Every structure is written in C-alpha cells, then in structure tokens.
Amino acid sequence: MSSDYEHIEVPDSGEKITADGDELSVPDEPVIPILHGDGIGKDVGPAAQKVLDAAAAATGRKVHWMEVYAGESAREIYGEDVNLPDETVDAIREHRVAIKGPLTTPVGAGFRSLNVALRQTLDLYANVRPTYYLDGVPSPMKAPEEMDMVTFRENTEDVYAGIEWEQGTEEVQQVKEFVEDEMGMDDIMHDGPIGLGLKPISEKGSKRLVREAIDYAIENDRDKVTLVHKGNIMKFTEGQFGTWGMEVADEEYPDDEVFAAPDSLWEEQDEVDIPEDAVMVEERLADAMLQWMQLRTDEFDVLAMPNLNGDYLSDAAGAQIGGLGIAPGANFGEGRCLAEPVHGSAPKRAGQNKANPTALILSGRLMFEYMGWEETGQLIRDAVEQTISDGKVTYDLERQIEGGEKLSTTEYADEIIANIEKLS
C-alpha cells in the first residue's frame, strides 16, 4: 500500500476496510491505525496490541497495524505546537476502524480535549461503553454479576460542544445583556461575575444516537433500550432528546420489532400488550437512574442519553463492576469505529510497566466485534476473565485480591496470550 502521509508509515501488506454506509467490508488482514497514547498509554498500548494480535492469529486472521500520533507523540514528531496532526485524522478517516489509548490535553493546546476533538472531527457520534462483570474482579457491590449493560452516549453536542463565554469578557457581557434585555430573563442573572454557556441538543444528533442504540439492541438480542435524560427540568433540550428518541422507536420500526413504551407503563404494565421478542424503548430520569442502576441492576440493558449524562452514568456503571481500569469503550460513526478505554492517561504511573491494560484490551474486543469478528472478541473476553479469575493481575487488582499474584503490564499480557492459546 502507498500513501502521501509525511510521518505515518503505512504497512507494506494488508488491505483497507471499506464501507457502504454503515456496512463494513472487512478483509482477513486489515490495516488498522493504532495510537498508543500518553502517560500509561506507552505501557498499555503495546501490551494490548500483543494480545489483540494473538487473538486474531488464533482465529485465522492478522492485523497490519499502522501507528499514528497525537498528544505527546505528535509533539515529538511534528513539533511542539502540533497535538492533533491532520494526517492522523485523515488516516483514521481513510481506514475506517482504529484504536487508541488515553490522551492528555496539554494546557493551552487549543482543544478542550483531544479525545473530544477526535470524536467531533470524525463525527463519531455514539460513545459506546459496555459494562459487564468479569469473574474474579473485586467489586463494592453484593451482586456485580447482575451488571451487563451498554451505554450509548451522544458524542458531539450538549455542554461538550464548547459553546461558553468566560466571566469578565466583553462576549459574556453581550450574551448576558441579550438574555436579560431581549429574552426577559433577568430574574435568573446574578449580580457580579458570571460565566455563560449554551447546551445544544438537536433532532439529528438525538435521533441518530437513539437509532444506533436500538439497532445495537436488535442485532445483539438485547431486550430493552432506556432513554436517560433530565427532561423534567431541561424540557427543551434533554426533554426534547427523550421526545425525539421515542419518535424514532414509534415511527421507524415495525411494532413487532420495537415497542415504544407509554408514559403510563410502570403504573399499568399488566394492561400493556408488549409484543413477544420486541425491543422495548422506555424513558427514565437521569438522577433516578443512578439509583436504579444499583438497586435494580439486572433490569437495564442498553441505555441511550445525552453527552453529559452518558459521561456520569457510564463511569458510575463502571464502578459497580470494579472500576475504570477494566472498562472498555468505542466511538461509532457511520461505518466508522475508534475504540478507546474509558480511563485517563495517569501520567504518574507512566513508564513503570505496572498499569492495567485490561480496558484497552477489551476496547479492542469491542472494535473486533464492530468489524464482525465476534469469535475473536469472545476469545479475548474469555482469556482475560480466565487470567483474572486465576488471580494473576496487575497491582491495582492484586492489592484487593487475597492470594493474588502481582504481574507487570507485560507479564499480565503474556498470561492472557497463554490463555488465548489454551482456549483456542
């Protein structure tokens, strides 16, 4: 393969993944961009890559990795002022499916977040975070095994769109005067310094996110999609998200495939005829959902929600099954996937060969499943679970497991690979 990239080395062999809309065409030896990331990314990135290679080989496939750069690695190669090179974005866009480790956004970088910038630039509108329990992982919950949930978090709008004005600036004063004088809302404006922001939630953004969640539920034999928002307070943003989402369920799918639950469902459930095997779509308020996730964990399946709610709720769900160190994630767009762990870069642990690579490994599993490599993905999950249940873990889990064996990042990856070979 040839390319005009300046600093990205394209593999000599392998084929591009292509797409027709949302439908991917995946060769047995695809070229996949990989970004190891900052901080502990330098440790967990190569370790995860080895595990993914082993799982692919065990199922008769091979990945041709193409290293791309952002954050610290980009500054080293492209110059101190370059944190997200255009050719990194272009490479991920061109090759459709990629995986990255955690990134740290430096102060004054011009981005609120490099992670958010990648999602928005590539229009990866659905942040997808499966949360499931692995046998042997210490958890604060009495029955963590009841958690098997997938959150779909809208990725491009809400407060993460970055529309805000700093206190003391001319711009914030103009917005304040507009709200007070033109909109007649002076009763909510306090005297003195104030910061202001806009919270955009659109029909397009809401509906495509909910549509993605429903399609996922159908394709993966999930029973229910729950729309989570704070619509009782923010009626014209979060409330509208719920309304638009229910319109998708009610208008775009056959009644025997998707059932849009009425508001009265909880009180009159015995009187509602839910078609057998249909995916039920319901609404819940975000604050109540934080409670129900703990008290009635097994009642929830797929969640769809605006950006900020998705950030909070997916982290809370991760805590129930042992923490963000094992929480995978990915960003879906139209025929695109950028897998990434939920955790951050933890720079104080960087370069010590001790960080836990599980979240990045399981993000690779999610990437493979997006590609249609379900057998490869299941093998990864089984091998990771076997390793942890054997008590062979990195320091973060070993200190919580009686009789556990503490392994380095690389030793842990090697143990998973050994289990891949045993299970395949």
Annotated binding-site residue? 61: no
Annotated binding-site residue? 153: yes
- What's the gap between Cα 244 and its chain centre? 22
CA dist., res. 421 & res. 424, Å (int):
5
CA dist., res. 287 & res. 276, Å (int):
30
Of the candidates 121, 125, 94, the one whose C-alpha atom is nearest the C-alpha of residue 10 is 94
Annotated binding-site residue? 356: yes
Structure tokens at 259: 């059932």
Annotated binding-site residue? 208: no
DSSP string for 352-391: SS-S--HHHHHHHHHHHHHTT-HHHHHHHHHHHHHHHHTT
Does residue 311 have an active-site annotation?
yes
Of the candidates 389, 382, 394, the one whose C-alpha atom is nearest the C-alpha of residue 420 is 382
Residue found by looking up tokens 């709610």 in the block: 309
Annotated binding-site residue? 113: yes
The answer to whether the CB of 91 falls within 8 A of the CB of 338 is no
Which of the following is catalytic: 199, 230, 354, 392?
Answer: 230
Annotated binding-site residue? 311: yes
Annotated binding-site residue? 222: no
Produce one character per residue of 5-20: b if its CB has 16 or more CB atoms within 10 Å, e if not.
beebebeeebebbebe
Does residue 142 have an active-site annotation?
no
Structure tokens at 262: 């009425």
Which of the following is catalytic: 38, 43, 301, 311?
Answer: 311
Annotated binding-site residue? 104: yes
Q: Burial-class residue 316 by CB neighbours within 10 Å (0-12, 13-18, 19+).
A: middle
Of the candidates 257, 375, 336, the one whose C-alpha atom is nearest the C-alpha of residue 23 is 336
31 phi and psi, to 5 degrees? -90, 125
CA dist., res. 153 & res. 163, Å (int):
19
Hey, what amino acid is at 212?
E
244 phi and psi, to 5 degrees? -65, -40
> Which DSSP state fits 262?
-
Which of the following is catalytic: 78, 125, 132, 160?
Answer: 160
Does residue 100 have an active-site annotation?
no
Angle of CA points 67, 70, 76, to nearest 5°: 90
Does residue 312 have an active-site annotation?
no
Which of the following is catalytic: 22, 287, 298, 390?
Answer: 287
**Residues annotated in a binding site for NADP(+):** 104, 356, 395, 399
Residues known to be catalytic: 160, 230, 287, 311
**Residues annotated in a binding site for Mg(2+):** 311
**Residues annotated in a binding site for D-threo-isocitrate:** 113, 115, 119, 129, 153
**Residues annotated in a binding site:** 104, 113, 115, 119, 129, 153, 311, 356, 395, 399
